[in-house]
Chains A and B, each alone.
Chain A
Amino acid sequence: MNTAEIKAAIMDQFPGSVLESEDLGESQVELKADQWFEIATFIKENPNLSFDQLECITGIDLGEEASLQTRYNFHSMEHRHKIEILISHDRKEPKVASIEKIWRIGDWFERETYDMFGIVYEGHSDLRRILCPDDWEGWPLRKDYEGQELYHGIVIPKMKEEDGWE
């Protein structure tokens, strides 16, 4: 199936969940966050869609004023089609349902995105930092991230625009 058909299938099942937007790419579909878990279950279980592979989860910060976004790339081993799903989050309180239980790799991908952006995946069984140390402060990949001065007494060097490393 192509993107339009997949989109139509989701719209049929969950009316009002798909957001229309001008600047979406070829295979992208933007969804509202509220019914995400149900939609995810649907696209995995539905025999016409059967997205059995969660290819990638990418967290994105659209800018200091704008919102955060999670992008999911799905692929179906059976039908060999793919889709990319975008879900935007409020910057103050970013949260979305976890799909860890549907695709097992969601566990680590969500942990990674949480680690980097602070997006909370509700229902995740073990939402800890994965790459950064457990007691790291802040969300490193956000555009407004300010690094720590000290970490357990270690001075963290800062990069300046002009004169390189301090």
Chain B
Amino acid sequence: MILNIGPQHPSTHGVLRLEVMTDGEIVSQIRPHLGYLHRCFEKHSENVTYEQVIPFTDRCDYLASMNSNFGYVVAMEELMEIKIPERVEYIRVIMGELNRIASHLLALGVYGLDIGAFTPFLYMLRDRERILDMFEYTCGARLLYNYMWVGGVSHDLPKDFETICTDFLDYFEPQIKEYNNLLSFNKIFVERTADVGVIPADVAVSYGVSGPNLRASGVKWDVRKDEPYSIYEKFDFDVPTGTGEFGTLGDCYDRYWVRMLEIEESVKILRQALKEVPSGDVHQALPKKIRPPKGSVYRRTESPRGDLGYYIISDGTPVPSRVKMRSPAFTALSCLDEVSRGWMISDVIAILGSLDIVLGEIDR
């Protein structure tokens, strides 16, 4: 029987259509159909100036817009060889990590929802809300920030940001324990996710799966550590990998659990960064006109979903000749077919949720 999951379905995390071939409840093949959210990001980019591309990157990964901005400006700065003030780098890292926490919270909460637990979702959204409040306080936007600009950021941090953020972290850290008690160590939740949808390390690498999904398979690869950009070298943090805590290495539970551990690591980075933000002017390095030299750059950064790469080609005009976004969710989704074969429909939902895809980024 062919079952259409989506484009309108509660747990496709956007507008995705899965054509699922089933035998009873068992899934034998999945054909994902993409493009329902295709907004021609790459075509638009060829028609606007470099700085005008940034709002479009927001709208790709709308749950981690800061990190989308971050990747683009890092690539642009590499292309233009701009030196960035220290303060800007710190602000960017703080914003990037806060957004990583927000994005992971949503991913974990929605994952609980996919498995059928409603309450953790609202707990996590409650805390995510406070992060969004901080973003709003800083730059006026809650979801699509257009915050990081080439050579700087749009607004300086508010004066009392440090206290607000530290307060939040003090409040937030004990919450992680609550999530764990409510969801992570729930017997039913473990039963549903452990051993389900195992992605072996070699398959994961071959499919270009990246970020938490790849680390859950046991590959210790984090762009922040292994190809450091911005000032991530300065911070002391671990790269959590999957351990097969309750089942096999690389199962849904590991992917869930790695995200939970990453939240803790982000908190660690934030505490270090908040302590040593230097003073300075955030607008000082903004170029008057962005006109990069002829050439091309491919730069990847670590977004909450994995390796977010930008391929930018400049022909010397203020308009990019080509901007390509290498989307981590795109590669993660591509392995769904292979991973889900032989599992049940409920497991497909569990696997899809554990990959943490954002359709805005897949379809661009």
> In whole angstroms, how far apart are the Cα atoms of A71 and B312 in the complex?
12
> In whole angstroms, how far apart are the Cα atoms of A54 and B206 in the complex?
7
B237 is an interface residue with CB less than 8 A from chain A: no
Given known A-B contacts A84-B298, A130-B35, A53 and B205 have beta carbons under 8 A apart: yes
A42 is an interface residue with CB less than 8 A from chain B: no
Contact A56 B206 (CB under 8 A): no
Given known A-B contacts A71-B311, A130-B34, A77 and B221 have beta carbons under 8 A apart: yes
Contacts of A56 in B (CB 8 A): 298, 309, 311, 324, 326
A30 is an interface residue with CB less than 8 A from chain B: no
Contacts of A58 in B (CB 8 A): 298, 311, 322, 324
Q: Which of A55, A59, A116, A129 contacts B307 (CB 8 A)?
A: A55
A127 is an interface residue with CB less than 8 A from chain B: no
What's the least CB distance linking B321 to chain A, in Å? 8
Within 8 A of A (CB), among B2-43: 34-35, 38, 40, 42-43
Within 8 A of B (CB), among A100-155: 103-105, 107-109, 112, 116, 129-133, 140-141
Extra inter-chain contacts (15) besides given A25-B296, A108-B330, A140-B40, CB under 8 Å: A55-B300, A73-B298, A77-B219, A103-B208, A104-B203, A104-B208, A104-B335, A105-B208, A105-B331, A116-B42, A130-B34, A132-B35, A132-B38, A141-B42, A141-B322
Give a binary string over A75-93; 1 marks a CB under 8 Å from any B CB, 0 the rest: 0010010001000000000
What's the least CB distance linking A23 to chain B, in Å? 8
B295 is an interface residue with CB less than 8 A from chain A: yes
For chain A, the count of residues having a C-beta within 8 Å of the partner chain is 32
For chain B, the count of residues having a C-beta within 8 Å of the partner chain is 37
Contact A133 B206 (CB under 8 A): no
What's the least CB distance linking B98 to chain A, in Å? 27
In the complex formed, the residue of A with least CB distance to B335 is: A104
A6 is an interface residue with CB less than 8 A from chain B: no
Contact B326 A55 (CB under 8 A): yes
Give a binary string over B346-364; 1 marks a CB under 8 Å from any A CB, 0 the rest: 0000000000000000011
Contacts of B334 in A (CB 8 A): 104-105, 107-108
Contact B208 A54 (CB under 8 A): yes
Contact A141 B43 (CB under 8 A): yes
What's the least CB distance linking A59 to chain B, in Å? 8
Contacts of B335 in A (CB 8 A): 104
Contacts of B313 in A (CB 8 A): 60
What's the least CB distance linking A131 to chain B, in Å? 4
> In whole angstroms, how far apart are the Cα atoms of A152 and B207 in the complex?
35
Return 15 A-B CB contacts under 8 Å, by A number.
A25-B295, A55-B300, A55-B326, A56-B298, A56-B326, A58-B324, A61-B322, A71-B298, A73-B298, A103-B208, A105-B331, A108-B334, A132-B38, A140-B43, A159-B47
What's the least CB distance linking B237 to chain A, in Å? 19
Within 8 A of A (CB), among B191-219: 202-203, 205-208, 219
Contacts of B205 in A (CB 8 A): 52-53, 77
Give a binary string over B323-351; 1 marks a CB under 8 Å from any A CB, 0 the rest: 01010001100110010000000000000
In the complex formed, the residue of B with least CB distance to A161 is: B47
Contact B208 A53 (CB under 8 A): yes
Contacts of A84 in B (CB 8 A): 298
Contacts of A59 in B (CB 8 A): 324
Contact B38 A55 (CB under 8 A): no
In the complex formed, the residue of A with least CB distance to B33 is: A130
B276 is an interface residue with CB less than 8 A from chain A: no
Contacts of A108 in B (CB 8 A): 330-331, 334
Contacts of B160 in A (CB 8 A): none
What's the least CB distance linking A43 to chain B, in Å? 14
> In whole angstroms, how far apart are the Cα atoms of A23 and B300 in the complex?
22
> In whole angstroms, how far apart are the Cα atoms of A102 and B283 in the complex?
46
In the complex formed, the residue of A with least CB distance to B31 is: A126
Leading 8 A-B pairs by shortest Cβ distance: A105-B208, A56-B326, A131-B35, A58-B324, A108-B334, A104-B206, A58-B311, A131-B38
> In whole angstroms, how far apart are the Cα atoms of A13 and B280 in the complex?
54
B236 is an interface residue with CB less than 8 A from chain A: no
B226 is an interface residue with CB less than 8 A from chain A: yes
Q: Which of B46, B206, B297, B322 contacts A52 (CB 8 A)?
A: B206
Contacts of B298 in A (CB 8 A): 55-56, 58, 71, 73, 84
